[in-house]
């Protein structure tokens, strides 16, 4: 038993493991970069780096082909910390090495935390428009809204992921009916049935209620391009105690929610870009797209926004421009784009509680390297002076 | 040193194993209602929206669409998910040009007053009172269509901007044609815009 334990420890503290893992990391980066040609950056991050095992589809079946980023990074982290715990010695001579390794450990931890905690949303504002939520660029949700009250909405947001589990009854205390996903298309185009040209492939549409009954569904291949997004569609059947209330076709392509009445209340149903509500609101006062005089070459993009909180604690104007984001309430609002003939701004909203970690770790590593090389240089020059 | 090491090793292996399990959950919350819909660009652009969508009335308004004829110098703009069509009108000598955005939404989308005031707001103009709306709107009868258009100019805020906006009720939906751009370009394009409005016809 003890021999096994020693073997276990020896494996995790060995330098050979470090070298092996570093070599695997280099290969991982190489393969992921090559795969980016087909998948785009988001899918590559999920497939190669934010996974334990890289699964590659061969003839429709996922086959494990390489250890993923979490696996390699995780083992590297364990290896580094274990080696330090085993061989740690508090001496000035080794302080530089320890700082460098400490920085590296922090860097790996930071990436793990970023992968787990970071969320990226976007906030689109027309000039004069106020919003207190941002929308996901990559994730969607089925919003079932109790619209009865004149001033407030009771929103039940069902993540898109749950719609892929066909036949699974989703029961939520806030809803007097159950929601059952019947079909799910990760990317699909919709058209009025009467407008479908001959030869356009369509799938069976069992929608019985709402606008969906008039639409034809054409599934599209999933896009991985960075500047494109998938527009999913789903068929959901609603069930009350008395039986089916109808099957609705929902899609992020349909921008107007579908309405119905049930149990004396008014409801809306929509598949929409996932929303993250904030306890404050932003109003776009003005978007500026400055160009160099006489040319179409952009010089600066900036958004003058007004930040307000309902309690009046904050009510101020902020200018957001390139490299000058607004940091507020744990979120960072970057100027990301514009639209609508320069009258709509697109802000990227990033939640990353661990954003400072890479800076701290780089600082630690710099100090460690300076210490280490400085000490060597000092020793060398002393020796030289003595000789 | 041996004990903390073994504790560390087993703890980190368990963390590694657990960190892969994340399940998304259904949430219920109460929010204040959003103010009246702002039709243009109120959702992230979906660049891969099927090209066919541009010519159908599905995404934003039900029912049949409209046909039109554009002047030759109006160039079709990039497809956008919320738009039926976009046309770009170049400025003179590389100066910024104007853009015609075509959108359509079910119902009356708040009515002419709300929409005219929305456009006024975008030009930093004060809202109109209901009594002043009739004077601001110009009425046109184009075939079976009865439409109103409005001309708005914001001279104060450089560069001066001008908007020509038409509201076309058709088959239970409202179509919006908004020509927006530098004051001089839009003013110059007004005859072309009016000719364009005269060319509107129900699609079927």
- Render A128-195 in DSSP notation, one character per residue: T-EEEEEEEEEEEEEEEEE--SSSEEEEEEEEHHHHTSTT--B--TT-SSEEEEEEEESSEEEEEGGG
- Taking the C-alpha atoms of residue A231 and residue A257, their distance in angstroms, rounded to an integer, is 15
Which residue in chain A is spatially nearest to B117 when comparing CA positions?
A128
Collapsed DSSP state (helix, strand, coil) of residue A198: coil
Residue A141: name the closest of A155, A123, A127 by CA.
Answer: A155
**Most confidently modeled range among B52-66, B101-115, B139-153:** B139-153
CB A211, CB A258: distance < 8 Å = yes
Nearest chain A Cα distance for residue B189, angstroms: 16
CB A325, CB A333: distance < 8 Å = yes
What pLDDT, on a 0 to 100 scale, did the predictor assign at position A170? Answer: 92
Q: What is the pLDDT of residues A53-67, one digit of tens each?
A: 999 888 878 899 999
In the predicted model, is pLDDT for residue B14 greater than 90?
A: no
Tell me the domain boundaries of chain B: 51-202
What pLDDT, on a 0 to 100 scale, did the predictor assign at position A54? Answer: 93
Backbone φ and ψ of A159, nearest 5°: -60, 145
The highest-level CATH class for domain B51-202 is: alpha beta
The mean pLDDT value for A244-272 works out to: 90
In the predicted model, is pLDDT for residue B23 greater than 70?
A: no
Nearest chain A Cα distance for residue B167, angstroms: 18
Helix (H) or strand (E) holding A331: strand A331-339
Which residues from A are below 8 Å from B20, CB to CB? 52, 70
Out of A5-9, A197-201, A208-212, A348-352, pick the least confident.
A197-201
In the predicted model, is pLDDT for residue A177 greater than 70?
A: yes
Contact B1 A85 (CB under 8 A): yes
**A233: confidence class by pLDDT, cuts 50, 70, 90:** very high
The mean pLDDT value for A145-161 works out to: 92
**B9: confidence class by pLDDT, cuts 50, 70, 90:** low
Which residues from B are below 8 Å from A50, CB to CB? none
**B81: confidence class by pLDDT, cuts 50, 70, 90:** low
The mean pLDDT value for A246-267 works out to: 88
In the predicted model, is pLDDT for residue B40 greater than 50?
A: no
Say which of A172, A211, A344 has its CB closest to residue B41: A344
Which residue in chain B is spatially nearest to A122 when comparing CA positions?
B44
In the predicted model, is pLDDT for residue A382 greater than 60?
A: yes
**A368: confidence class by pLDDT, cuts 50, 70, 90:** very high
Backbone φ and ψ of A53, nearest 5°: -130, 135
In the predicted model, is pLDDT for residue B51 greater than 50?
A: no
**B20: confidence class by pLDDT, cuts 50, 70, 90:** low
In the predicted model, is pLDDT for residue A270 greater than 80?
A: yes
Contacts of A4 (CB under 8 A, 6+ apart): none
Q: What is the pLDDT of residues A105-123, one digit of tens each?
A: 899 889 888 888 888 899 9
- Taking the C-alpha atoms of residue B160 and residue B184, their distance in angstroms, rounded to an integer, is 8
Contacts of B9 (CB under 8 A, 6+ apart): A8, A9, A12, A78, A82
Show the tokens assigned to A345: 């701004």
Q: How many CB pairs under 8 A join A and B?
A: 184
In the predicted model, is pLDDT for residue B36 greater than 60?
A: no
CB A54, CB A68: distance < 8 Å = yes
Which residue in chain A is spatially nearest to B105 when comparing CA positions?
A256
Nearest chain A Cα distance for residue B30, angstroms: 4
Tell me the domain boundaries of chain A: 2-118+356-386, 121-130+278-351, 140-276
Residue A139: name the closest of A281, A13, A252 by CA.
Answer: A252
Out of A9-13, A215-219, A355-359, B104-108, pick the least confident.
B104-108
**A132: confidence class by pLDDT, cuts 50, 70, 90:** very high
ipTM of the shown complex: 0.75
Residue A146: name the closest of B25, B27, B29, B105 by CA.
Answer: B29
Contacts of A383 (CB under 8 A, 6+ apart): none
What pLDDT, on a 0 to 100 scale, did the predictor assign at position B64? Answer: 64
Which residue in chain B is spatially nearest to A219 when comparing CA positions?
B50
Which one of A150, A233, A258, A340 would you mutate to disrupt binding with B, by most B Cβ within 10 Å of its Cβ?
A340
What pLDDT, on a 0 to 100 scale, did the predictor assign at position B166? Answer: 95
Angle at B51 between CA B203 and CA A125, to 5 degrees: 95
């Amino acid at each position: 038993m003890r021999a096994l334990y020693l073997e276990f420890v020896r494996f995790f503290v060995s330098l050979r493991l470090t070298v092996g893992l570093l070599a695997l990391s280099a290969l991982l980066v190489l393969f992921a970069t090559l795969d980016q040609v087909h998948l785009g950056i988001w899918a590559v991050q999920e497939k190669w780096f934010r996974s334990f095992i890289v699964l590659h589809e061969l003839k429709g079946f996922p086959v494990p082909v390489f250890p993923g980023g979490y696996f390699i990074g995780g083992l590297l982290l364990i290896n580094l910390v274990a080696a330090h715990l085993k061989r740690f010695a508090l001496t000035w001579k080794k302080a530089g090495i320890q700082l460098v390794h400490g920085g590296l450990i922090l860097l790996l931890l930071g990436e793990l935390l970023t992968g787990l905690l970071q969320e990226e949303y976007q906030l689109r504002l027309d000039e004069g428009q106020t919003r207190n939520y941002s929308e996901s660029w990559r994730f969607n949700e089925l919003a079932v809204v109790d619209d009865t009250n004149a001033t407030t909405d009771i929103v039940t947001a069902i993540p898109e992921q749950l719609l892929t589990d066909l036949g699974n009854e989703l029961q939520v205390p806030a809803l007097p009916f159950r929601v059952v996903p019947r079909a799910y298309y990760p990317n699909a185009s919709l058209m009025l049935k009467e407008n479908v040209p001959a030869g356009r492939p369509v799938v069976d549409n069992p929608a019985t209620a709402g606008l969906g009954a008039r639409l034809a569904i054409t599934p599209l291949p999933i896009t991985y391009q960075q500047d494109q997004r998938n527009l999913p569609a789903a068929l959901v059947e609603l069930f009350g105690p008395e039986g089916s209330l109808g099957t609705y076709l929902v899609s992020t392509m349909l921008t107007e929610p579908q309405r119905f009445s049930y149990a004396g209340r008014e409801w809306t149903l929509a598949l929409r870009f996932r929303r993250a509500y904030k306890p404050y609101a932003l109003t776009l006062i003005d978007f500026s797209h400055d160009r160099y005089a006489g040319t179409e070459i952009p010089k600066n993009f900036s958004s003058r926004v007004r930040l307000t909180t309902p309690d009046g604690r904050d009510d101020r104007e902020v200018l957001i421009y390139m490299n000058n984001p607004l940091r507020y309430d744990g979120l960072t609002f970057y100027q990301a784009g514009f639209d609508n003939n320069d009258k709509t701004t697109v802000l990227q909203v990033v939640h990353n509680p661990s954003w400072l970690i890479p800076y701290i770790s780089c600082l630690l590593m710099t100090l460690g390297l300076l210490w280490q090389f400085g000490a060597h240089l000092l020793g060398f020059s002393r020796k030289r002076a003595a000789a | 040193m041996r004990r903390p090491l073994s504790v560390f090793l087993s703890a980190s292996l368990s963390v590694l194993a657990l960190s892969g399990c994340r399940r998304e959950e259904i949430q219920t919350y109460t929010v204040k209602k959003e103010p009246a819909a702002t039709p243009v660009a109120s959702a992230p652009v979906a660049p891969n929206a099927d090209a066919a969508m541009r010519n159908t009335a599905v995404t934003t308004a039900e029912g049949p669409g409209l046909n039109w004829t554009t002047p030759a110098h109006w160039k079709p703009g990039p497809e956008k998910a919320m738009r039926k069509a976009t046309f770009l009108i170049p400025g003179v000598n590389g100066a910024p040009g104007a853009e015609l955005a075509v959108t359509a939404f079910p119902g009356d989308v708040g009515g002419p007053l709300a929409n005219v005031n929305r456009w006024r707001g975008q030009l930093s103009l004060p809202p109109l009172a209901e009594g002043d709306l009739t004077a601001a709107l110009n009425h046109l009868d184009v075939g079976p269509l009865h439409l109103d258009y409005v001309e708005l100019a914001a001279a104060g805020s450089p560069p001066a901007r001008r908007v020509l906006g038409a509201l076309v009720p058709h088959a239970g939906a409202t179509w919006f044609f908004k020509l927006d751009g530098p004051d001089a370009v839009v003013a110059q394009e007004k005859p072309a815009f009016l000719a364009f409005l005269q060319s509107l016809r129900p699609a079927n």
